[in-house]
Structure 1
């Protein structure tokens, strides 16, 4: 610090004199020494004030101007002694121009009186003291500013006027870009900016110089290592048109902001409902719901925020999951439950609710975040699966499932009961454990070719139980494929038909006995009766022969009908088989008219009438018409075959076939037996003709009823499901 402080009274000011003439110089020096230290002429020395006369100014002009400029802004006064009559070769303060401080600060006319001299010098030195104090303050400010400049965490750069050269930088700027101070001062500011942002940076500098200041947060710099850093830049134009740049590295902050925005968008657009509640508020209300919650529940943000989630509950909401959630919240623990909730429109949905506490750094719960997912489809599948499992577990058929290699993975209880193998014994083994040896290798080759080709396998085979017993099954194997079409499992269903097979065998034997043995016996009886007729005379004996022949014919007819019964149960009726009823009735009437020319047979049906039946219907109709002819006591039996609309309790796609006669009627006992569909030891039919009709119609899911035909006779009504001509298959 070069000047004296105004409060330092122990030091005297120094004044240097540049006066031409010894007498004048000695007079001034003698006057000034009373108050100041005086330096006499010679070389320009450091002083607080300089007193120069007009003749000495040219000699010391340059030195004084240089000295004053160096000491600026500290005021260094120069007092000019100007004689009367001077031509004014030295410019006065009011006459001086230029950017630097004036050479002359005050003028005193010569000769100078002591009072004026002291007053002028005192004033100049007072001004100097003020400038020294201001200078000290300025230097203190400069020092503080420099310290702030050096220590601030923000990168500071000074860019030269009219260009982008860096003239000053602080350590933070060096740390930001990875250059030393020397390296950074040798660069242009644009060289530190990412290439994509350089033109925008130049435009930013121009705007700052015009507006005086500016800021931006969309610039990126490149470090010495080539890394990109995001910047937030503030700038101000200085008095000399240079620009002070303050740059802050906001890379992490922007990354965090992007992450926060991404998370916020993810929450808003998540396909599940997300809620946030505030436990510090009464009843822990929701303070945030996302779009997924709105879509799931039908409630808008405005309708939901401020309410507790329980408003979604209703009559079907079970208390157990609600209580579980309540306990978890009371304990500040996470919880996940499944419960029925209600949408705004009143519809129910299965809701998987997961709730977790959100804690601050001290561990205090500040919020609860909830996730709600519509699992209605999954729950319905689970319930369907449970229902299916119960159905399979309680099925009357044996069911087992194998993997694609044939290893058993599941068996139901009926499998255990029929095979004798427990679930533990069967799982992991193959169905070969049931092999009886009654099927050859070619049978199993066809089985595997069928199921591996993706087709269903149906067959009858003989299995062997664990205890060695044989049993008959009707087997169905269905291949199961995944979404890609690859076979993963096989489901086998086996119906135990052992008893049915025995009944079929018994029926076959009975049929053979009735048709073959009975026919042979009838032939013998008929032959012997013919011989008796020739050998015997008299009406009474001939009557006995007639009785033998009638019974023999009845027995022969019974044997023929046993074949009809056997054919009825040989095949099941196809669900889509349709026959032309109109043509069938006409055909039956024409054939029996030829066989029984003495009867009057009539067929009356509308055109194009079809029933879901096959050609076995013809057998039933022929049996009914023939029975009406044979058992009629009129000389000319009348039989009408027609159709009529179904009764009121069977409206829809049904038809009724009516066979009406004028005979004596069917005995009440036989009529009740047929309509009831069963015989008892005390009440049974006298033949099997009506049973053939009953069994045939039952095959098609129809019914038979018997009515009176006024004034005499019987109407047999056959109710059958109607068919369409498009599905007609194999009609007679």
Structure 2
């Protein structure tokens, strides 16, 4: 190339204009100069892109083609400016097939539009940048491969597919055979193979050419000095073709072979040992066994031929715990002796407890040459631990939820009752923490106290609320006990939980009814008695009517309270089978119609919605009646307004749920009432004034749902009912709505 050099150090791309006519050239330069460094020269310069006029193609065709070829694989784009009315004398990109690299990469027709020119040039330069990046990456990969090829300790050869001529080799190959690289490249691979093994080696090459890979052990080569060396050879084709070059990896195993022969002689002395003895070779891949005695064969059921050449892990199986395996692995990695007990499997599939002792064997320099292993059947001693198995069976059949965690809280075992109560299978729970049951009803301080207690070695007892996999809440009485090893160190925790959801609900019922009978009814009776006394003293007084009205109102209130108590009793005495469903859209419609007839002055708004099936029936109808009536009775507006909306719940919870939202424009629920329901219990200082909200809470709880009380802007209350939504499989029996 001649002429002025381009600005290669600039952050901007360079574009050379090869256009006939000063006016056209000036116009293009004016377009491009704002974004790019434009080169205007007679001779071809090094640039990121070339803009060529159609008339100039014959002049620069050969120079451009040679330049693109020299820069390949970097993409050097050429944009052709084709004159208006041209008949296409220059081959377009789609017309350049079979001519190597295309000369023209993009075509624009005059007159030139600035935006179109920028877009075309920008696309070409983007491809140029990508090719530069790929070219650099490819060159880096080649460099790394060459370094790896040259630095590996194994002898590497690349041989031609026919004849086995050596086309490349690494320094280790030269060192193995005693030839220089130039000398080896003049030889074939069979020439450096000992005459006795040439036919076998040629068969290996033919097998690799067909199968793509192969290996052999014990090929003998002959060095330049005539020395025989035994090699372990692995081979693979470099390409997926019938005539692919083959890469060979050869490892000198001469000394090892000699040592194995010596080891075989020594093994005869160990053949009569009463325990299993094995010897492995860490210098070979995967540390395989190179010797087993008759005791090993008798213990495992595997013959020597079946065992030698394999790592002893083949005795492991599903019941083999990872901990002792990891302990052995760590000891081998650090070349230390180790003894562990683990469950192994004989050839016939039977299990036995194996006490394994492994010790490194070192040479005079302290280098580990082998590992010797001793295997002893300790099944009889393990059988004496059947008490633990009996305990496990008891746990498996216990009606309580039982799960065991490690010291960090990871679940290692759950009993069938855990699966039944929580909805999580053993496979889903093991390996995770009890946090999968967390309901967020207990604060962080609760769990901090729990961990302080059990890590101190004390037993933890508490009542808490968990959440099933389906999203349902349930109450449990929980006991957590630490498990210690022989040294008194805590290793595990066992947790026992009793589902007390029903008991908890009944306890709440008794507490609230007890409060009602002791407080509300008693106060009402006092009012009745007081007014009656006043009536006797003032029978002719004009205030008689007011007093009579007070008596009537209170008596009515007591009667209503009595009705509510009966409703509570009915809820718990006539529970529907778990899991049954109904059309809750229809239930809502019927309840709204019923309440509308009773309170014609109130306004009700319901959404038009397709049928949604969820757990419901009589408990749901009871809850809806209570909510709607209270929304009207306790409303202080001239016209009570109540809105009922049904939807599919979008809350982040497992399973499908349905949601019913009832909103009113009343004065809102008193704070103490709301806190009482949210906490789920009554105390002497915090309690409700009636049974209405408790009826709603109990009814929805019996369905496995949840109740949430919220403020309704700008005034009033929103009551949100979340109910488990069941699929309408024809095989399921749908529970009819109780219209009583």
- Fold equivalence (TM over 0.5): no
Query: Which structure has the larger Rg?
Result: 1
TM-score scaled by structure 1? 0.36
